[in-house]
Structure 1
C-alpha cells in the first residue's frame, strides 16, 4: 500500500507542476471572437493531459476501482499525441521536456493498468478499448477543432 501511495503522489506532483507551467503559458485573447478560435482552445491540450494524470493519481492514491481505466486513458492520450506528432498528422502543444516526462509516466501507467499491480481491478477489453477511443477523442478535439 505504501508503494501505491508513493507512486500516486509522484503522479500527482508531476501533474500539478506541469499543469501550473502550462496554465501560466495560456494567452487570453483580447476580443470575444478570440475565445472561439482553434488557436485558443488548442492551448488547453497539455493542460487536459495534466488533468488526466492528476485524476489517475488521485484514483491510484485512493485505490479506486476505475484506477486502471484512467491510467490507460492517460497512457493512450500521451502515446497518441507522440505518435500522431511523429507521423505529422498533428502538431503537439507539449514542450519536448514535458513529452519525455509524460511518455515515461505513460509507460509506467500502462504497466500499472494492464498488470493490475496494486489489485484495483482488472481492466477489461472493453475498458481498454474505451480508454483508447477516449484518448483519440481528446487528441483530435484539441488538435482538429
Structure 2
C-alpha cells in the first residue's frame, strides 16, 4: 500500500507539473476566429497527454477500479506520440523534455497496468484493445490535421 501511494504521488506530481508547463505554452488568441480553426486545437495535444497521466495517477492513488485501464490509455498515448513522429505520420508538438519524461512514465504505467502490480482489476483483452484504439484516436485528433 505504501509503494502504491509513493508511485501514484510521484506520477501525480509529474503529471501536474507537465500540465502546468504545457498550458503555459499555449497562446490564447484575442479574437474569436482562431477558436473555430482546427489548427488551434492541435496545440492541446501535449496537455491532453499530461492530463491523462494526472487522472491515471489519481485513480492509482484512490484505488479506483478502472486504474489499469487509465494507466494503459495514458501509456499507449504517450508512446504513440513519439512513434508516430519517428515514422513520419505527423510532427509531434510535445517538446523533447516532455517526450522523454512522458515516455518514462508511460513505460512505468504500462508495466503497472499489465502486471497488475497493486492487485487492482486486471486488464482484459477487450480493455487492452480499447485502450490502444482510444490512444490512436486521441493521437490522430490532436496531431493528424496539422
TM-score, with structure 1 as normaliser: 0.97
Aligned to 2:23: 23
In the alignment, does 2:113 pair up with 1:121?
Answer: no
- Which aligned runs of 4 or more in structure 1 are off by greater than 4 angstroms? none
35-44 vs 135-144, greater mean Cα deviation:
35-44
TM-score, with structure 2 as normaliser: 0.96
Residue 29 of structure 1 contacts residue 40 of structure 1 at CA under 8 Å; is this kept in 2?
A: no
Aligned to 1:64: 64
Q: 1:60-93: CA deviations, max 9, x gaps?
A: 0011111100000001101111110000111111
How far apart are 1:25 and its partner, in Å? Answer: 0.8
The alignment's C-alpha RMSD in Å is 0.9
Distance in structure 1 (CA, Å) of the matches to 2:68 and 2:48 = 18
**Structure 1 residues not aligned, in runs of 5+:** none
| Alignment of structure 1 residues 106-145 onto 2, 5 Å | 106-145=106-145
Aligned residues: 145
Distance in structure 2 (CA, Å) of the matches to 1:73 and 1:90 = 20
Aligned to 2:75: 75
